Structure 1
Amino acid sequence: MKHLNKLLVAVMMVMGLTSHAQDSNNPWAISFGVNAVDTRTSASPEHVDFFPAHFSQPFAAKDNWNVLPSLSYIGVSRYVGSGFSVGLQGSVNKIDKYVIFDPSAPDHDGRGMVVTNPGDLMYYGIDATLKYSFQELIKSKIIDPSLSVGAGYTFFGDSSYGTVNPGAGVTFWFTDAIGLELGTRYKWSFGDREDASGTPDAPSHFQHTAGIVFKFGGKDTDGDGIYDKDDACPDVAGLKQFNGCPDTDGDGIVDGSDACPDVFGLAALNGCPDTDGDGIADAKDACPDVAGLAALNGCPDADGDGVADKDDKCPTVAGPKENGGCPFLDADKDGIADKDDDCPTVAGPASNRGCPEVTSEALEELKVQARAVYFNSGKATFKSGDKETPARLDAIKEILKNYPTAKFSIEGHTDSDGSDKLNQKLSEDRAAAVKDALIARGVSADNLESKGFGESMPVASNKTAAGKAQNRRTEIKHIGSKYQGKL
């Protein structure tokens, strides 16, 4: 047992020096299982041929093999590259079938074997091995055949001696890291010795093994199942088909080469999307939802005038760029293109953006109509029963609509009856009432303002009833253009 203790301590020391199988990804492996020792190849009479002695009945396990029915070997190995690995194995057995091949012996068993039971003969072995795997050569992920050569030291009962160990094996891998290991090696002793009775005490022999092997030691920093040495992106979890690099948007283009890594896109556009299918990536497409032309940054040009529809003031009619994409139309013949003319159907000067200037005739008509709008006495409501006031307001509206850019001031006035404060308030309210009535008829509020002047601006004497009647009035005055100062 002292030899077994030495063996186990030696193997555990080797294992302790290893931290992590058997290929370039997992450089370390540990294996354990059962072994069988077959001594029929031990020293034999000189007249016995080599091949019958070594290869007759190689699988007669029941008759020839010594098997310890428990864990009887353990090994550790390290991959060194190009299919080669080095390893160390320790084994223990009990020899109860000492077989010698000698067909001339009187007590042979009919197969040429002389079988003896040496009693409690313990067997210990420690062996170093250089192994070559053919797995990469045959390109198999499951079957892993190998050849090996090595040397070891054997404790055989009270004897101990060195051996040279050629061998062969095959491993069947269940996963990338777990397999079933079958092996055999011929342990040729340095000089077959015999004891006093003529029995070899340093026999050469076959040792067969069957066990489980575990590979380990590979590093996978990002946990994506691809070892760092094969992982093009070792710090970021990725996909096997991309050598460990991620494809966040799932468009088949790795994030590192994807100009739009978070959005599903096309390979032709470096992974960026093209919603409208015009061949221009959305990020560079000024009109990403409508197919367009590359020359117009992806925007369409319905009339083919070279002006993108979004910038074309006449998108269905071709026109020069300098005219906003519109043909040079001037319906009112005032010399101002319709696209720039705020009053394209009525002639007007450029100073008023193509709209007509307010004429003196129009202003006089406004004056007449406005002064004929009457109110209830002391109130800002239109005079009850006066059927002409609505017609006059309509007439004012008709005049104002001819001047869409002109601004007008509606002014309210009173006679001298009552206090100044009361008259001021009444004049403001009456001017506002006229303004509201015109807005209700469609006149733009931007073109109107209202003011009250109380009794301060009479147009007749307040000493007569007729004069007071003239002073109770509203007037409409032209005060400029809403483009004034902006032209």
Structure 2
Amino acid sequence: MKKIKVTLFALAAAFTVGAQAQDENNPWQIGFGVNSVDIRTPMDFGDVIKDWGGPSDINILPAVSRLSVGRYIGKGFSAELSGSLNKIEKGFGYNKDLDNKVDQSFWAVNLAVQYHLNNLWSGARWFDPYAQVGGGYAAIDNAGKLRTLAGGGINFWFTDNIGINLQTAYHPTMKSKSEENYFQHALGIAIKFGKQDKDGDGVADKDDACPDVAGDPKLNGCPDKDGDGIADEQDACPEEAGLPQFNGCPDTDGDGVADKDDECPEVAGLKEFKGCPDTDGDGVADKDDKCPDVKGPKENNGCPWPDRDGDGVLDKDDECVDKPGPVSNNGCPEVTQDVQKKLNDFAKTILFDLGKATIRPESATVLNNIVEVLNEYKNAKFDVEGHTDSTGNKAKNQKLSEERANSVKVYLVDKGINPARLSAKGYGPDKPIASNKTKKGRDLNRRVEINLVK
């Protein structure tokens, strides 16, 4: 028995050195436990199955009698090297009725390849069944033989690293029939550990999306500083807890616009106005609306267009905002026949130096009266017409009429009348209003008229 204990200690020391975890994350595994050996093996297959389940002739050493170390290979495969000790009392030929026990030592070293069946599904990983084949060397009472093995087992993982292992295997010799073929069953503790985890967050480096920074296992090992369940590397607002639909950014007013994009983050608004409200519904956000409670066009900063003179023509379309006028004349008063007559009554009294286009000083008053009339009708356009009598050279009269018309236009423009409203033209003696045969008639024909352009 002392020899068995010394050998067991040596196996434990050998298998403990360098043992780590076993799967993609933990490629190494160690195990320790007890084993049982059933050497009384019938030759008939049916009796073999029956004997496998019978406890009457198994041998168990009441101590830690089996050690193993395994290495994950990949794609569901792993390799296991195991060593076991036992004491054979119920050997070949044992009869439970006669209780003809023997006292034989047993030790074995085996190497097996295991295929983990949970590699075939994506279900619970705690249930880890496997099939195994391999071979080894076993000595019964110091008589050793090479053997093959075939069997299976199950790991029940309570945590990522610790579980219970239960396995069984049939160990025949190389001969087709042998009295020393045996079943061996084992029950023990399995330990997986040693995964690479640089940042110490419990997520193996190979599965850690942020292997250099400690993070949350639920986020593949990436940190989440604001605790909103969105990894910092995917969080558009890593310092503020937010919502998934806004890539981790908050929406304080709950209007569906993230605060970082919301120009009114404290007041619920509309997406089309970058989170700002539009109280009057005129399409202008309140923050830009000069009249937020009254509908108005955007062109007028959300306020309704005014109509200062109350003529029904909005100021924006009214060419005479302070004087009422019809829509047909763009809100300006229309030039009536009386106004037209008044203008020409004034114009006919404009005096010029004899034979010249120079306006005489005493005509200033009447010209200023004309300016006042024109200013009342700011959108009306007028023709300034010059006329002469028929005395003298016609060409000279034509030229003189043109010059006098232009002199009046220049005076009016100098007094602030828009030149675009005025045109000047001379007609010479072609449009008389009286007979040129009398002095009175000639005086009437020498005139200036200011007529509305229709």
TM over 0.5: yes
Query: How is 1:233-312 mapped onto 2 (pairs within 5 angstroms)?
Result: 233-303=210-280, 307-312=284-289
SS of residue in 2 equivalent to 1:100: coil
Q: Secondary structure at the match of 1:98?
A: coil
Q: Distance in 2 between matches of 1:282 and 1:73?
A: 63
Tell me the CA shift for residue 330 of structure 1. 9.5
> TM-score, length-normalised on structure 1?
0.55
Report the secondary structure of 1:12's partner residue. Answer: helix
The answer to whether 1:168 aligns with 2:152 is: yes
CA offsets 1:333-354 (integer angstroms, 9 cap, x no match):
9xxxxxxxxxxxxxxxxxxxxx
TM-score computed with the length of structure 2 as normaliser: 0.58
Q: Does 1:93 align with 2:70?
A: no
Work out the CA distance in 2 between the residues paired with 1:25 and 1:141.
13
Tell me which residue corresponds to 1:122.
Answer: 105
Q: What letter corresponds to residue 151 of structure 1 in structure 2?
A: G
Q: Secondary structure at the match of 1:272?
A: coil
**Which residue is equivalent to 1:182?**
166
AA partner of residue 150 (structure 2): P
**1 CA distance for matches of 2:292 and 2:176?**
106
Q: Kindly report which structure 2 residues correspond to 1:400-439, keeping only aligned pairs within 5 A, or say none.
A: none
Aligned-residue sequence identity (percent) comes to 47
Shift of 1:237: 3.9
CA deviations over 1:370-407 (Å, ceiling 9, x no partner): xxxxxxxxxxxxxxxxxxxxxxxxxxxxxxxxxxxxxx
1:165-208 Cα deviation digits (max 9, x unpaired): 112222322222222222222111234899xxxxx6xx221122
Paired residue type of 1:209: A
Q: Distance in 2 between matches of 1:207 and 1:30?
A: 19
Residue aligned with 1:64, SS: coil
Q: 2:129 aligns with which of 130, 138, 145?
A: 145
2: CA distance, partners of 1:115 / 1:55: 23
Q: CA deviation at 1:125?
A: 1.0
Measure, in 1, the Cα distance between the counterparts of 2:142 and 2:293.
Answer: 109
Measured after TM superposition, the shift of residue 145 of structure 1 is 2.2
Q: 1:51 aligns with which of 37, 45, 53?
A: 45
Instruction: Name the amino acid aligned to 2:75.
Output: S
Q: In structure 2, what is the Cα distance between the partners aligned to 1:205 and 1:294?
A: 78
1:440-455 aligned within 5 A: none
Separation (CA, whole Å) in 2 of partners of 1:4 and 1:173: 29
| Alpha-carbon distance, 1:88 to partner | 0.9
Which residue pairs with 1:72 in the alignment? 65
2:131 corresponds to which letter in structure 1?
L
Q: Specify the code of the residue in structure 1 equivalent to 2:241.
A: F
Structure 1 residues 327 and 26, CA, compared in 2 at 3 Å: closer, same or farther?
same
Q: Residues of 2 paired with 1:227 and 1:6: CA distance?
A: 36
Whole-Å Cα distance in 2 between the matches of residues 269 and 181 of structure 1? 47
Classify 1:115/1:206 alpha carbon distance in 2 versus 1 (closer, same or farther; 3 Å). Answer: farther
Q: Find the aligned partners of 1:157 and 1:59 in 2 and give their Cα distance.
A: 25
CA separation in 1, counterparts of 2:96 and 2:244? 77
Deviation at 1:157, TM superposition (A): 1.5
The alpha-carbon distance between structure 1 residues 8 and 125, as it changes in their structure 2 partners (threshold 3 A), is farther
Asked if 1 retains the 8 angstrom alpha-carbon contact of 2:4 and 2:85, the reply is: no
Name the CA distance, whole Å, in 2 between partners of 1:147 and 1:240.
31
Q: 2:197 & 2:278 partners in 1: Cα distance?
A: 55
1:29 corresponds to 2:12:
no
The residue number in structure 1 matching 2:38 is: 38
User: Partner letter of residue 33 of structure 2?
Assistant: G
**Correspondence for 2:14:** 13
Counterpart CA distance in 1 for 2:142 and 2:290 is: 110
Work out the CA distance in 1 between the residues paired with 2:137 and 2:160: 32
3-state SS of 1:135 partner: helix
- Which amino acid in structure 1 is aligned with residue 236 of structure 2? A
Q: For residue 146 of structure 1, give the secondary structure of its aligned residue in structure 2.
A: strand
Structure 1 unmatched runs, 5+ = 42-47, 102-107, 195-199, 334-487
Measured in 1, the distance between the counterparts of 2:254 and 2:50 equals: 77
